[in-house]
Structure formats: C-alpha cells, structure tokens
C-alpha cells in the first residue's frame, strides 16, 4: 500500500529533519511512528499527506509515485487519505455538524444523503453531543479532538495519518480511538500512528518505526525488536526497548 524510500527533508538547506528514512506499510496494517519531540515524526506524516514537499526520496501509494503523478490523479489519491496533525485547528464558530459537512465537501463528497448518513454514524461513534446546536468553541479539548478524528474519517479513507491523536483525550476518548483503529484496520485501512503513548503502540501496531533526530533507529515488528537486544528479558516491553535505543 505505502512504500517510502530514502526520504529526506530539510527546512533550511543545512540540517535535515528527516534523513534517508525508508519503510513500508501494508494494506490493513498499523505502523507506530515513535520518537521524541522534534525527531521528525510530523515531517514524515506531512510529506506523505502532501502537505509539504520532500527534498529527496520517493513516496509510493499503491505503486504510484506521488512526485510524478498528474495533478488530477494526485488529487484523487489525497482525497482517500485522512490526516490529523497534532495541532488541529477547527473552525470553532461552526457546529460539529456544520464542520463535518464542510470537510465532507472539501473531500469532494457530492451525494448529500450519503454524506449526512456518514456524519450521523461518526457523531454516534465518537459520542459528539449536541452536534447540530453547539459551536465547536464550546466543547472541551477532548471533544474537539473527537471532532477532529471524526473529520479524518468522513471520506472513508484508505489511509489514516494520525499525529499524536491521544493528546487531550480522556480515558473514554482513548478507548474510542483504539477501537476506531482496530475497526479501520479490519476494514483494510492503512494506518500510521505517531504517538508518545508507547503502550498503545505495543498493543496495536503491526510494525514499529523508531526515529531520533531524523534518523531511523529501528524498523520492524515487536518480535524483531525483542531479538534486536540479545540480553532482552521476557518481561521487556516497548518502553524499555525504546529507552535503550534512544540512549545508544
């Protein structure tokens, strides 16, 4: 589904935010993208989503090189990607209903009956109360995050790119997010989850990519990560492995 090869990005033409990063994510798999603040996680997601350009490398979705794709085809591909940045800016003067309707039209959903049905499903799924009567600015930070998550799902994406989606979520919101990821994976959605919540990554991820200062430290499964450390104990978890990698 997704193949990233030798990705490079510099914002100042001197230092690199991302240095020669390569990885694959199969259809219906979850890749956990891990690293400290400033490691390059957000940059990678923005490049894949088409929000910013890369300096070098390739991003292929279903074998199509995004850098060599005609604008019309590229627009079609982007419309099947749901991207939520860490700092999601919502149109807080709109109601949740109006916002989802607006986002649906941005994604080119012209069938209003179909769009309305999808909006109703998402509002129920994420427990967004008073969706038609309450302005987004009146919601708590956690419910705003749920609205943002719902907006990434409005176009039935083939791929989800989520940057720190648990920020501001309460325990119920985190459970909703986890169930959403499980449901999306079972429906064949390819997911990249950038998160500091290592326990969620360990529970859900099919593969793990750990980066630091734009460089890849590890890429593979939890079993492969366990094998990476010859002295690993049975009780070793992702948090322990992550700490060891970052310190080396």
Q: Which domains does the chain have, with CATH numbers?
A: 2-80+158-247 (3.40.50.300), 89-156 (no CATH)
Please give the Cα distance from 105 to 166 (Å, whole number).
26
Per-residue pLDDT at 146: 95
229 three-class SS: coil
Q: Which pLDDT score is estimated for 25?
A: 97
Mean pLDDT of all residues in 36-42:
92
What pLDDT is stored for residue 89 in this prediction? 83
Residue 14 pLDDT grade (very low, low, confident, very high; cuts 50, 70, 90) = confident
Position 248 confidence tier, pLDDT thresholds 50, 70, 90: low
Residue showing tokens 């985190």: 174
Q: How confident is the model at residue 234 (pLDDT cuts 50, 70, 90)?
A: low
CA 228 to chain centre: 26
Checking if the pLDDT of 232 tops 60, the result is: no
How far is residue 143's CA from residue 148's CA, in Å, rounded to a whole number? Answer: 9
pTM (2 d.p.) = 0.92
Q: Is residue 204 predicted with pLDDT exceeding 60?
A: yes
- How much is the mean pLDDT over the chain? 91
Which residues share a beta bridge with 207?
31
Between CA 214 and CA 217 the distance in angstroms is 9
Q: 144-183, pLDDT tens digit by residue?
A: 999 999 999 999 999 999 999 999 899 999 999 999 999 9
């Amino acid at each position: 589904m997704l193949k990233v090869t030798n990705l490079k990005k510099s914002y100042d033409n001197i230092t690199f935010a991302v240095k020669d990063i390569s990885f694959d994510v199969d259809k219906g798999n979850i890749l956990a993208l891990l690293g400290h603040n400033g490691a390059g996680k957000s940059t990678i997601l923005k490049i894949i989503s088409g929000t910013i350009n890369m300096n070098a490398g390739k991003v292929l979705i279903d074998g199509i090189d995004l850098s060599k794709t005609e604008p019309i085809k590229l627009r079609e591909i982007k419309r099947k990607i749901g991207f939520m940045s860490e700092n999601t800016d919502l149109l807080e003067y709109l109601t949740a209903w109006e916002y989802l309707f607006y986002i649906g039209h941005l994604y080119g959903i012209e069938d209003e009956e179909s769009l309305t049905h999808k909006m109703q499903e998402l509002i129920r799924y994420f427990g967004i109360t008073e969706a038609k009567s309450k302005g987004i600015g009146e919601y708590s930070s956690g419910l705003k995050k749920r609205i943002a998550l719902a907006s990434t799902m409005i176009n039935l994406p083939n791929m989800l790119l989520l940057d720190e989606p648990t920020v501001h979520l309460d325990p119920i919101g985190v459970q909703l997010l986890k169930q959403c990821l499980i449901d999306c994976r079972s429906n064949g959605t390819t997911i990249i989850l950038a998160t500091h919540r290592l326990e969620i990554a360990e529970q859900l991820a099919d593969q793990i990519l750990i980066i630091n200062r734009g460089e890849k430290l590890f890429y593979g499964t939890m079993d492969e990560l366990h094998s990476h450390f010859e002295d690993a104990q049975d009780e070793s978890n992702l948090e322990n492995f992550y700490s060891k990698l970052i310190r080396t």
